[in-house]
Amino acid sequence: MPAIVLIGAQWGDEGKGKVTDLLGAWVDYVVRYSGGNNAGHTVVTPDGQKYALHLMPSGVLSPNAVTVLGNGVVIDPKVLLGEMDGLTERGVDVSRLLISGDAHLIMPHHRALDRVVERYLGPARIGTTGRGIGPAYGDKVARTGIRVQDLLDPGILRQKLELVLREKNQILAKVYNRKAIDVAAVVEEYLTYAARLRPHIADTRAVLWDALAAGATVLMEGAQATMLDLDHGTYPFVTSSNPTAAGACVGTGIPPTAIGQVIGVAKAYTTRVGAGPFPTELSDQAGMHLLKVGDEYGTTTGRERRCGWFDAVVGRYAVRVNGITDLVITKLDVLSGLDQVQICVGYEIDGERVDSMPTTQTGFHHAKPIYEELDGWWEDITKARTEEDLPATARRYLERIEQLCGARISVVGVGPGREANITRHPLLPAAAADPG
């Protein structure tokens, strides 16, 4: 089997965790390739248990999948160990986790700088999750980062930390009026994490190459999303990594030629957490409906998500930039109870119609959505399991999204549970042969 990439096609929280979990029974490896504990992936297992995963790949809830944190992930070891302990307490086996020695660590100065920089940005703030993501990737790019492998050598760990804190402590104290960070205390703390993480550290590239060569199925689970991509998203209101499909190669070492399928997950409407342009954002009754019925509160920070109509300009862009072969449209059930539903088909920017992604940040800020209005539906569709179970207007809505985005919709989500889906085209051949 070639490798499969699963990505968010909007601004995050599309339901990537649920879809990864859905495929868990048929995949051998689930690999995170970018981001860190800024992600929050909610999975509801068939016994009704709800799990909020931040660093652990969602495949941890599948009995046989090996979970991997690739080199592209940034790891806060305290958070990871806390998550492993929490899962273990709930009877989930985390022993099959493999961690790349090349993954970068989130250090205390990253968390401190993330928060204080946001505060200083004031109204220009990004609205980050405050987890230290941007500063950790910043150090990686500046070649002053500390990696998982450095935990295995106390001398090196101290040396690297001393070097980086020589500068960062000056910045914390003199620019931001914060306390300097003590090297010895951090080394001591991180060495306790080292002892526990050591058995999981592996040459994950080689593990994945060998697995693919032996015919295993490898799923690379995206975090964040296309419009939060550092290069392809709404810069600067983005995260500091590449969540798009191409990032999966960089963040794992799996070559592009090994990837045979890209699953794009999108909500039937749009949400965004944090600042930045969002042309279809709603502040009316319909927006309130999406917030309340969709229960749109962040898994990581608990923040209210901004809600709006489905944006097919974004959808089309995500299909092209990621090479999406299959779309999964989640939360269609949330749209039940609306007389009309709207799909954004283009933007008006300073008096001109634009059908593709604005080419400048100012253009994006000025973009006003051009809508196509479709009839809604009132039926409860949470029990629908085939397309025929859906009202005709809901089917028409999906068909229109499919046409506008330019990729087939393979699965439609109608509830948070693993079983609450309509499969139009099986995502994996094995799943088609044995739907569980």
Task: Give catalytic residue positions.
Answer: 13, 41
Q: Does residue 333 touch ligand GDP according to CB under 6 A?
A: yes
Cα-Cα-Cα-Cα torsion 43, 48, 49, 54, nearest 10 degrees, comes to 10
Residue 140's φ and ψ, nearest 5 degrees, are: -60, -50
72 binds, among Mg ion, ligand GDP, ligand IMO, none (CB under 5 to 8 A by kind): none
Shortest reach from residue 433's CB to ligand IMO, in Å:
30
User: Which is closer to ligand GDP, CB of 182 or CB of 304?
Assistant: 304
Task: Return the structure tokens found at 330.
Answer: 């989640």
d(Cα 294, Cα 72) in Å, to the nearest integer? 31
Q: Residue 383 in 3-state DSSP?
A: coil
Binds ligand GDP by CB under 6 A, chosen from 7, 44, 183, 390: 44
Residue whose beta carbon is closest to ligand IMO: 274
Of 18-26, 256-264, 298-306, 374-382, the segment contacting Mg ion by CB under 5 A is 298-306
Under rule CB under 5 A, residue 108 binds Mg ion: no
Q: Which among Mg ion, ligand GDP, ligand IMO, none contacts residue 69 (Cβ within 5 to 8 A by kind)?
A: none
Query: Does the protein bind Mg ion through residue 415 (CB under 5 A)?
Result: no
Name the residue type at position 377.
Answer: W
Backbone dihedral region for residue 15 (phi beyond 0: left; psi -120 to 50: alpha; all else: beta): left
Nearer to ligand IMO, 71 or 239 (CB): 239
Q: Cα(302)–Cα(295) distance, rounded to whole angstroms?
A: 11
List all residues 6 or more positions away from 224 whose beta carbon is below 8 Å from its beta carbon. Answer: 8, 12, 34, 35, 38, 39, 239, 241, 243
The contacts of residue 24 (CB under 8 Å, 6+ apart) are 30, 58, 59, 61, 62, 65
Q: Which of residues 128 and 336 has its CB atom nearest to ligand IMO in the complex? A: 128
C-alpha 220/C-alpha 259 separation (Å) is: 10
Beta bridge partners of 3: 259
At its nearest, how many Å lie between ligand IMO and the CB of residue 182? 25
The pairing of strands 326-330 and 409-413 is: parallel
Q: Report the distance separating Cα 377 and Cα 238, nearest Å.
A: 34
Q: How many CB atoms lie within 10 A of CB 193?
A: 18
Contact 90, 49 (CB under 8 A): yes
Among 104-112, 127-135, 203-211, 330-338, which window interacts with ligand GDP (CB under 6 A)?
330-338
Is residue 40 within the footprint of ligand GDP (CB under 6 A)? yes
Q: Return the one option of ligand IMO, ligand GDP, Mg ion, none that residue 145 interacts with (CB less than 5 to 8 A, by type).
A: none
Q: How far apart are CA 168 and CA 318, in angstroms?
A: 37
Q: Which is nearer to Mg ion, 101 or 298 (CB)?
A: 298
Beta carbon of residue 15, minimum distance to ligand IMO (angstroms, whole number): 9
Q: Which residues bind ligand IMO (CB under 6 A)?
A: 8, 12-13, 38-41, 126-129, 131, 133-134, 223-225, 228, 239-240, 273-274, 299
13 is a contact residue toward Mg ion (CB under 5 A): yes
Task: Single out the residue of 8, 243, 247, 251 in contact with ligand GDP (rule: CB under 6 A).
Answer: 8
The reply to whether 331 sits near ligand GDP by the rule CB under 6 A is: yes
Among residues 13 and 139, whose Cβ is nearest to ligand IMO? 13
Size of the site for ligand GDP (CB under 6 A): 22
* CB neighbours of residue 186 within 10 Å: 18
297 vs 307: CA distance, rounded Å: 10
3-state helix, strand, coil in the chain (%, to 5): 40, 20, 40
> Which of Mg ion, ligand GDP, ligand IMO, none sits in contact with 136, Cβ below 5 to 8 A by type?
none
Task: Give the span between the Cα atoms of 91 and 364, in whole angstroms.
Answer: 47
Does residue 77 bind ligand GDP (CB under 6 A)? no
Q: Residue 291 Cβ, how far from ligand IMO at the closest point, in Å?
A: 15
* Per CB under 6 A, 241 contacts ligand GDP: no
The span from the CA of 335 to the CA of 290, in Å, is 7
The nearer residue to ligand GDP, 109 or 289, going by C-beta atoms, is 289
| Least distance between ligand GDP and beta carbon 14 (Å) | 5
Residues that bind ligand GDP (CB under 6 A): 8, 12-18, 40-42, 44, 299, 330-331, 333-334, 413-416, 420
